[in-house]
Amino acid sequence: MSLSVGDVAPEFSLPDQDRQVVSLAELRGRPVLVVFYPFAFSGICTGELCQLRDELATYTDAGVTVVAISTDPVFSLKAFKAQEGLEFPLLSDFWPHGATAQAYGVFNDKAGMAVRGTFLVDAEGRVAFAEVNQPGDAREQSGWKDAVAKIAA
């Protein structure tokens, strides 16, 4: 079962595409948009993350840190980030495989991947927005923007 608004967001410490560890605890004090996606280089995921890249100022101008998490290894994430010009950290939930996605309730055990879960964590570490889409179901990002506008107000 995925998280709901008001829940305490589970902590995580994951390596980014450069093998630098990023933890939710270190980001405390400002809102964080946590975007789980199935796989780097897949069609829908690439489209979603490129839209996020193109509209990144919507989030950063509101003081929101953006991180994207998949079960891909760091080496794939490094190549994906470079190819697509992504300007936010891509975090690897590769090992233990999908542990963070499991904690957020967005891990597909049968496929071994995260589903499309999006969580806006407020500055105190509580979920302010939660949305889960299944594989093949692209996300509409307007809900994220509305949640960011509310939290920034």
List CB contacts of 89: < 8 A, sequence separation 6 or more: 16, 17, 22, 67, 68
Q: For residue 25, how many other CB atoms are within 10 A of its CB?
A: 9
Q: Which is catalytic among the residues 32, 33, 45, 147?
A: 45
Single out the residue of 106, 125, 122 nearest to residue 114, CA to CA: 106
Nearest CA-CA partner of 68 in 32, 41, 43, 95: 32
3-state class (DSSP) for residue 122: coil
Catalytic annotation present for 45: yes
Catalytic machinery residues: 45
